[in-house]
A and B are shown apart, each in its own frame.
Chain A
Amino acid sequence: MTGPSVADRVSRLRTEFDRSFAEPARTVGADSVELLAIGVGGRPYALRLAQASGVHPDRPVTALPTPVPALLGVAGFAGTVVPVYDLAALLGHPIPERPRWLVLTSGTPPLALAFHQLDHHLRVPVTDVVAGSIGDGGPQAYLQGLVRLPDGNRPIVDVPATRALVHQLAGHRPDSEESS
């Protein structure tokens, strides 16, 4: 995979950070939403930061024998074994490349979603987020709304919907203890 080197990315991030001091101060409040811009199977998506409890690169994942192609295996997080699902496979465009990043989702039961690229963290006005379902079913059911960004629109992966759907895939019946 070719792309910008680590040094190039560090330089770009540093420049962006320095430039941010010239921008008018912004307050974080109910009028903005924090997102992670991610690459999944070569396509751009976003995740709500509030629905994630951690992002981890290069975490060992132990494969399991499973009939569910999207289930990559399990990973350990603070002593808890967590199932890891390939987000690209869930969204209907799997690629052979192994996802490097895991996002540990907030809510119960624990769930980790694997994706290929972490693009950046961003805070956008709520007016830049278009709510609503992207589609009626299939892979679109994992998506809820999209965010308008200068480099294009990104569908937003909805963690609660994803949790419910992967548990259906695994034949798991949720109980009343579970929450998003």
Chain B
Amino acid sequence: MGGLQGEAVVGARVTALVFHAGPLYCAFPLDEVVETMRPLQTRPLAGTPPYVRGLSILRGMPSPVVDVTHLLTGEPGEISRYVAVRAGRGVVACATGPVLGVQEVEVEPAEGPTAALSGVVSKALIAAVGRMETEPLVLLRGIRTVPDEVWEAAGSTGAAA
């Protein structure tokens, strides 16, 4: 295991779950990933950012669903999988394109290469960047972009269940 804790070290090799998010290759460190599944029924939530698709029931608990393509590119993406990842206040279902599998990816810390992506993605999301053959790969850190009100809605849904 790469043991990435928020920040990658230079030239680190990280075991990660690699997936497509629209035009981007993305990855989550494997130790943040709980499981993957086909998209589940998702109930929209009014008043949330456009990248929050709503709430799904994951393993009996209401969980926010984040469209990763929308989050990274500003455009909704085609969704073929949900990737459940551990986040600060629970598990978040990340709606992604196809999951390519678990791979060792070689990454560089975010500071330098991320400059080229500034304005496209929030740096707070990126732990490091690497590449998949000739394409850039974005290694995401724990999803911390779920607004508090979404967690509160999930909590109240869970309490009502």
Contact = CB atoms under 8 A, between A and B. Distances in A.
A60 B19 CA distance: 44
A172 to B, nearest CB: 49
B59 A23 contact: yes
A19 to B, nearest CB: 8
B38 A22 contact: no
A123 to B, nearest CB: 16
Contact of A18 (B35, B40, B60, B61): B40
Chief secondary structure at chain A's binding surface: loop
A22 B161 CA distance: 13
B132 interface: no
A78 interface: no
B58 interface: yes
Nearest to B36: A21
Q: How big is the A interface, by class?
A: under 10
A144 to B, nearest CB: 34
Contacts of B59: 21-25
B18 to A, nearest CB: 21
B37 interface: yes
Contacts of B58: 21-22
B38 A18 contact: yes
A17 B58 CA distance: 13
B56 interface: yes
A22 B157 CA distance: 14
A23 B35 CA distance: 14
B154 to A, nearest CB: 14
Contacts of A23: 59-60
Nearest to B39: A18
Nearest to A25: B59
Interface of A: 18, 21-25
Interface of B: 35, 37-38, 40-41, 56-61
22 contacts: A18-B37, A18-B38, A18-B40, A21-B35, A21-B37, A21-B40, A21-B58, A21-B59, A22-B40, A22-B41, A22-B56, A22-B57, A22-B58, A22-B59, A22-B60, A23-B59, A23-B60, A24-B59, A24-B60, A24-B61, A25-B59, A25-B60
